[in-house]
Amino acid sequence: MRKGELSIIKDREQLSCWIHHSMAVTGGYLGVYALLCRNDFFGNALTSNLIYIVTGILGQDLFDVLIRIGGVVLYVLGISSTIFLSKKYHRNLHPISLVINYIAVIILGLLPAEMDPILGLYPIFFAMAFQWNSFPGAYGFAGSTIFSTNNARQVANALSEYCITHEKRQLQRAAFFGGTLACFHIGVAFSWITHHFIGIRSVWLCVVPLLVSTALIAYESHLDKATVGQKDATGAPVKQI
């Protein structure tokens, strides 16, 4: 393989990391929007929603249960859509996820503040589930761009492993997940500041980190075209991610 080809492939791997981290900013931004504007309900994950479905059934609040089931259905559809598109049509999901996020942000900014908080999070349920599967990680590490718990666990695991084994791979792992955590909370801080000054319509400013991701994904497409027909050190075709 020529030196230039190696450089392109290396850039592609690094770019995947940058894209993952940039999307984590969006995950943090929309996570805080949900907490501040929709009664402290975190729409990026399903755990609390599923819990409230059970308590709603026991408390015989069937209307609330139905609304929350609708949220679960949208979340599952978001995940299932990524599998369908990637397997059946072999599509790169990065641009599609971006479009879905842009649409979700526009809709969220138009919804009234006084509406049912779970209905108000319907766009987030679908968009964040789709983003979760569309940006699964980088450098061979699987991580989430829409919530923090597993990323924090991975940092702790990697640093503990490094203290025992001194493997440099563990430091790379800690840096990747630590970077994801940092970027997620940059999104958290940005969202809180904009909400403090603008209120519920501040969700529209989520287009700022989305535009950064758009530029990175456009460059990703350029690199993918540059690697068409190239082979790695083993002679195998370079995979388009």
Calpha distance 195→109 (Å, rounded): 12
237 forms bridges with which residues in the sheet?
231
Q: Could you report the per-residue pLDDT of 119-149, keeping only the tens digit for each? A: 999 999 999 999 999 999 999 999 999 999 9
The DSSP 8-state label assigned to residue 138 in this structure reads: E
Residue 186 class from Cβ within 10 Å (0-12 exposed, 13-18 middle, 19+ buried)?
middle
Whether 85 contacts 91, CB under 8 Å? yes
Give residue 241's pLDDT.
47
pTM for the model stands at 0.89
Q: Which residue has the tokens 């083993």?
A: 234
Q: Could you report the per-residue pLDDT of 95-115, keeping only the tens digit for each? A: 999 999 999 999 999 999 999
Give residue 1's pLDDT.
47
SS3 state at 173: helix
Give residue 97's pLDDT.
97
How many other C-beta atoms lie within 10 A of the C-beta of residue 97? 26
Whether 135 contacts 184, CB under 8 Å? no
The low-confidence residues of the chain, meaning pLDDT below 70, are 1-10, 227-241
Cα 144 to Cα 107, 114, 119, 120, 121: the distances in Å are: 24, 31, 24, 23, 19
